[in-house]
Amino acid sequence: MIKIIDFFVYTFVIIAFLFLLVLVVLYFTPNPIFKIANSIPIEENLSKPDNYSNIESSVTVNKNIPYTNEYKNNKLDIYSPKDFKGKLPVVLFIHGGGFFKGDKEMAKYFGPTISNSHYSFISINYDLAPDTTLFNQVQQINEAIKFIKKNENNYCLDTSSINLSGSSAGGFLALQLLSAYHNKKYTKELQIIPVENIKFNSLLLYSSVYNLSEFQKFNGNILTNYLLSKIGWGLTGEKKWKTNRDLGEKLNLNNYVNSGFPPIFITDGNTKTFTEQAEDYANILIKKHVPVKTLFFDSKNKVGHGYQLKMNTEASKQAVKESLKFLQKWN
């Protein structure tokens, strides 16, 4: 009996020690939280459109092209239609994944589908948190713009027609970049130098987040609040990010809407996503007289976050149709 008690006491001491050790480590760095999060598999939510075999045979792809030497995840893929000669309008796609997951391959079906309608569709990788911050990420995306401008002739890119696009966190980064190009104060805050002679044609946002400062006000249970504090630290590089007002202003893209913005396409699902933020942002654009096209869904059918990448669904088909109509109108 004494041996059994000793065993349980010993086990308890070991567990308590490991728990305290983790807490001590997390006091100095949020990285273990991200390692745990990245070890959990997530559904990619990708599926092919019904006519994908025809699309695939009509599109060529140049994969894993390095676009900068300053970052680790520095590759991009370019999808182009085979039957077109000359320069094509560009759709630059920024993948989602909460700023700490995801890959350019998330567009492996979406990209060819858009490209098949005579666009050069470019999907890029970028460094992920906590190895970088979301502010460094948007700087890296600007490096991709530099690459596109510098290599317009090599890849038949019409740099007078660059359309930014992004899904989820990628939408936030795309909108950050657009906002920086239209707001000198924000440009300085993000430490971005706009690429010369670049003017974005349009922006397409899929299940994007628009106001990360809302998470500063979030108050859940003890565990949720603790985890959120570490995640926010990893994404922003600020340990006390929840109480930093200046940071909160930078994280709220509603603050940077500009009447000079190009046309913007906004869509989102209706389940576990950022629909309210999307609707609020669209209304701000309308008040600023920015051309805006929206696609939202009623409550009859559940449409999830990042739904456009599940391309055999009716919702995704509608998103593709409306995206192409929007691109055709503004290119």
Q: What is the mean pLDDT of the chain?
A: 89
Position 19 scores a pLDDT of 38
Structural domain includes residue 69:
yes
Sheet containing strand 264-267, strands side by side: 59-66, 75-81, 120-124, 88-94, 157-167, 200-206, 264-267, 292-295
Structural domain includes residue 135:
yes
Question: 15 and 73 share a domain?
Answer: no
Express each pLDDT in 267-301 by its tens digit: 999 999 999 999 999 999 999 999 999 999 998 88
At residue 205, does pLDDT exceed 80?
A: yes
Question: 7 and 129 share a domain?
Answer: no
Structural domain includes residue 235:
no
pTM: 0.91
Residue 71's domain spans which residues?
47-211+252-330
Q: What is the CATH number of the domain that holds 300?
A: 3.40.50.1820
Residue whose token pair is 């949020």: 30
166: which 2 tokens? 């992004």
Question: 19 and 90 share a domain?
Answer: no
Question: 203 and 278 share a domain?
Answer: yes
Q: What band does 230 get if pLDDT is binned at 50, 70 and 90?
A: confident
Residues facing 306 on adjacent strands: none
Express each pLDDT in 115-129 by its tens digit: 999 999 999 999 999
Question: 6 and 131 share a domain?
Answer: no
Greater confidence (17 vs 31) lies with 31
Lowest mean pLDDT among 11-25, 81-95, 218-232, 262-276: 11-25
pLDDT, average across residues 6-27:
41
Question: 22 and 83 share a domain?
Answer: no
Task: Give the C-alpha separation, 163 to 121, whole Å.
Answer: 9
DSSP string across 270-321? SBSS-HHHHHHHHHHHHHTT--EEEE---TTS--BTTGGGBTTSHHHHHHHH
